[in-house]
Chain A
Amino acid sequence: MLKKSFFGFLKPWITYTPPSKKPVVPKELPIPAKLTFIIDTPYTTTANTLLKPSAPVKACEKLRVYPEDAAYAIASAGGNILTVESFLGPFGRKQTLVTIKADPAAEMDETFAQAGAESSAAILTDHLECLPGNPRFHRLNNSSKPISTVLIAAADGDVMLDTRAQVVNNRFDAVQEGIHRLRNLTGIEDIRIAVPKDFIHGYGHIGATMHFVDTVYPAALPNRMVQQVMGVTVPAGKTPEDLGILPISVEAVAALADSFASNRPTGRKMLTVIAPDGSRQIVSVIMGTPIGDVLAACGIPVSEGDRLISGGPMTGTPLFSLDQPVTPDMDGLLVQAGDEIPSYTDTPCINCGDCVRVCPMRIQVNMLIRFLEARQYQEAADRYDLLSCIDCGLCTFVCVSRIPISQYIALGKHELALAHSAEEVHE
Chain B
Amino acid sequence: MNNPKFVVSPAPFWHDGSSVTERHLHKIYAALPAVIFGIGMYGVPAIGVVCLSVSMAMLWELLANRLMARPYSIGDGNAALIGLLFAMLSPATVPWWVVVIGTFLAIFVGKQIYGGIGGNPFNPTLIGLAMVMISWKSIFDFNAALIHYDFGFNMAYPLSMIKQHGSAAASAYNWYDLLLGRQSGGIGSTFSIGLILGGIYLMLRGFIRWEISLSFLAGVFLTAAAFHGANPVKYAPPFIHLVTGYTLIGAFFLATDDSSSPVNFLPMILYGLGAGILTVLIRSIGAYADGVVFAILVFNIANPLLDKIRPAAVGKVNDHA
Interface residues of A (CB under 8 A from B): 1-4, 6-10, 12, 223, 227, 233-238, 290, 292, 302-309, 311, 313-323, 334, 336, 338, 341-342, 344, 346-354, 356-357, 360-364, 366, 385, 388, 391, 393-394, 396-402, 404, 406-407, 410
Interface residues of B (CB under 8 A from A): 1, 3-20, 23, 71, 73, 76, 115-119, 203-207, 209-210, 258-259, 261-264, 310-317
Interchain CB contact (< 8 A) of B16 among A12, A316, A336, A344? A12
Question: How far apart are B142's CB and chain A's nearest CB, in angstroms?
Answer: 32
- Contact A9–B7 (Cβ < 8 Å): no
Q: Which residues of B have CB within 8 Å of A391?
A: 11
- Contact A318–B23 (Cβ < 8 Å): no
- 10 A-B Cβ contacts within 8 A? A4-B18, A8-B206, A236-B316, A292-B1, A311-B11, A317-B10, A317-B11, A342-B15, A388-B315, A397-B16
- Contact B315–A235 (Cβ < 8 Å): yes
Question: How far apart are B75's CB and chain A's nearest CB, in angstroms?
Answer: 10
Interchain CB contact (< 8 A) of B259 among A237, A320, A342, A351? A351
- Contact A348–B118 (Cβ < 8 Å): yes
Most buried by A among B3, B203, B258, B315: B315
- Contact A9–B206 (Cβ < 8 Å): yes
Q: Which residues of B have CB within 8 Å of A9?
A: 203-206, 210
Q: Which residues of A have CB within 8 Å of B116?
A: 348
Q: Which residues of B have CB within 8 Å of A1?
A: 14-15, 17
Answer whether A336 and B13 are a contact pair too, CB < 8 Å, given A304-B5, A348-B117, A353-B263. Answer: yes
Q: Which residue of B lies closest to A10 (CB)?
A: B206
- Contact A346–B119 (Cβ < 8 Å): no
- Contact A338–B313 (Cβ < 8 Å): no
- A sample of 11 more A-B contacts (CB under 8 A), given A307-B7, A397-B16, is A237-B317, A304-B5, A307-B13, A314-B13, A323-B1, A334-B13, A336-B13, A347-B117, A351-B263, A396-B11, A406-B10
Question: How far apart are A198's CB and chain B's nearest CB, in angstroms?
Answer: 22
- Contact B16–A7 (Cβ < 8 Å): no
- Contact B11–A342 (Cβ < 8 Å): no
Bound-complex Cα distance A237 to B15 (A) = 27
Bound-complex Cα distance A194 to B261 (A) = 41
Bound-complex Cα distance A306 to B10 (A) = 14
Answer whether A236 and B317 are a contact pair too, CB < 8 Å, given A6-B205, A10-B206. Answer: yes
Question: How far apart are B107's CB and chain A's nearest CB, in angstroms?
Answer: 16
Most buried by A among B4, B13, B314: B13
Question: How far apart are A274's CB and chain B's nearest CB, in angstroms?
Answer: 11
Q: Which residues of A have CB within 8 Å of B1?
A: 290, 292, 322-323
Q: Which residue of A lies closest to B13 (CB)?
A: A313
Q: Which residue of B lies closest to A160 (CB)?
A: B14
Bound-complex Cα distance A311 to B14 (A) = 13
Q: Which residues of A have CB within 8 Å of B9?
A: 307, 318, 341, 344, 404, 407
- Contact A385–B316 (Cβ < 8 Å): yes
Tally of A-B Cβ pairs under 8 angstroms: 196
- Contact A366–B205 (Cβ < 8 Å): no
Interchain CB contact (< 8 A) of A362 among B20, B71, B206, B311? B311
- Contact A234–B13 (Cβ < 8 Å): no
Most buried by A among B5, B11, B205, B259: B11
Interchain CB contact (< 8 A) of A393 among B11, B19, B118, B314? B11
Bound-complex Cα distance A260 to B125 (A) = 72
Interchain CB contact (< 8 A) of B10 among A394, A398, A404? A404
Q: Which residue of B lies closest to A411 (CB)?
A: B10
- Contact A320–B8 (Cβ < 8 Å): yes
Bound-complex Cα distance A388 to B16 (A) = 24
Q: Which residue of B lies closest to A338 (CB)?
A: B7
Most buried by B among A1, A351, A362, A364: A351
- Contact B11–A3 (Cβ < 8 Å): no
Interchain CB contact (< 8 A) of B3 among A313, A322, A334, A393? A322
Bound-complex Cα distance A399 to B207 (A) = 13
Q: Which residues of B have CB within 8 Å of A363?
A: 313
Bound-complex Cα distance A359 to B7 (A) = 27
Q: Which residue of B lies closest to A363 (CB)?
A: B313
Top-8 shortest CB links A-B: A8-B206, A353-B263, A393-B12, A342-B15, A385-B313, A4-B16, A304-B4, A350-B118
- Contact A397–B12 (Cβ < 8 Å): yes
Q: Which residue of A lies closest to B116 (CB)?
A: A348
Bound-complex Cα distance A174 to B14 (A) = 35
Bound-complex Cα distance A385 to B313 (A) = 7
Question: How far apart are B320's CB and chain A's nearest CB, in angstroms?
Answer: 11
Question: How far apart are A311's CB and chain B's nearest CB, in angstroms?
Answer: 8
Q: Which residues of B have CB within 8 Å of A396?
A: 11-12, 15
- Contact A4–B17 (Cβ < 8 Å): yes
Q: Which residue of B lies closest to A394 (CB)?
A: B12
Q: Which residues of B have CB within 8 Å of A361?
A: 313-315
- Contact B15–A350 (Cβ < 8 Å): no
- Contact A318–B315 (Cβ < 8 Å): no
- Contact A401–B20 (Cβ < 8 Å): yes
- Contact A7–B315 (Cβ < 8 Å): no
Bound-complex Cα distance A309 to B13 (A) = 8
Interchain CB contact (< 8 A) of A236 among B14, B73, B117, B313? B313
- Contact B11–A406 (Cβ < 8 Å): yes
Q: Which residue of A lies closest to B204 (CB)?
A: A7
Bound-complex Cα distance A388 to B8 (A) = 26
